[in-house]
Structure 1
Amino acid sequence: MKWLNHTLIAGAICAVISPPHVAACVAGATAPDWMEYVYKLSGKHIKHRGPTHVFTHWIIAAIAFTFIWDYHGIFVAFSWGGVSHILTDAMTVSGVPFSPYSDRRFHLFGGRFRTGDPVEYAISAGVIMVAIALNHVTGGQGFAPFFYNWGGLYDQGLIDGLEWKTNRFRLI
């Protein structure tokens, strides 16, 4: 898939789940591709959809950051963005490596289209439309239980002035 579609899909999904993490998720959605350029700066050449596109690496990282350790949700969003990149690349004819120990490719839905085909843009548009609908249904707040609207809580009378003053500049 093209970078545009990777960013649109990951950004739309993340905007529904946790709007403050969209930037980290979009960075993760493009990471498997730009990590190849970073690796090439060391003087070693790797092929596209090689070690940076291994499905098992990204899913293990996402699960580890989700359940074991994370810094304000940034690494969770980044790693799930990477998973979305791998899954969308798996829909193409080229596929992605499932494991570093296998030369077999992983294809999602049979790998029916090539990068840049109109189907790619239709999939992105479909994901965006579903995300907009879900965002409308959820009220546009997303599911971000750790980000409190301290001013709103004070206006509703749920917290007192001291608690608002103490927490107003806390992001989390």
Structure 2
Amino acid sequence: MTLSTQFITIITMVVSGVYLGASYHTFKRLERLWTSSILWKYVLEMLFWLIQAAILYFVLFLVNEGILRLYIFLAVLCGYAMFKSLFEQAFGRIVDTLIRIVLHIYRFIYRIVEIFVVKPIVFIVSLVVVCITKVFTGLYSLLLLLLKVVGWPIKVIVSILSPLLPKNAKKYLHLFYRFYSKIKRKE
């Protein structure tokens, strides 16, 4: 490996250390938003470090064909330390500002969708339900009125013919009367 390749590798690994610090800071800042269980927290942490190791090794592979040396680990550690001492506070403010902006945009979009999509759909569905209920109530009232109008002449005829009927026939009609009285009580 030539001296220029080693120099480029060290500079790249220092920058990769800064990147690693920034990505870990961002991960820790966002972690509380999506972790609710301890198991899920550990799974995400393992995935984060595996992805970061793959990214760093890919960068190392592009720079010096993936040759690992002790100074590469030291360069990454120096880059991480540089991030912690020089850039962490400013980067933290930038990340917090970006998170606030994204949350405001999310809330704005959520309210727009709620106002222009969800509420009209709820209004239309409730209007349809109310209209259908009113139609069925009107049809039920009309049916009851029709039964009363049709039932009144039958009732008059039965009251006229009732004294003329034999007692044996009244027993069978008595069952019909119980059924009719149940219907009448439900009005």
Structure 1 length-normalised TM: 0.30
| Structure number with bigger Rg | 2
Structure 2 length-normalised TM: 0.29
Q: Which structure carries more helix by proportion?
A: 2
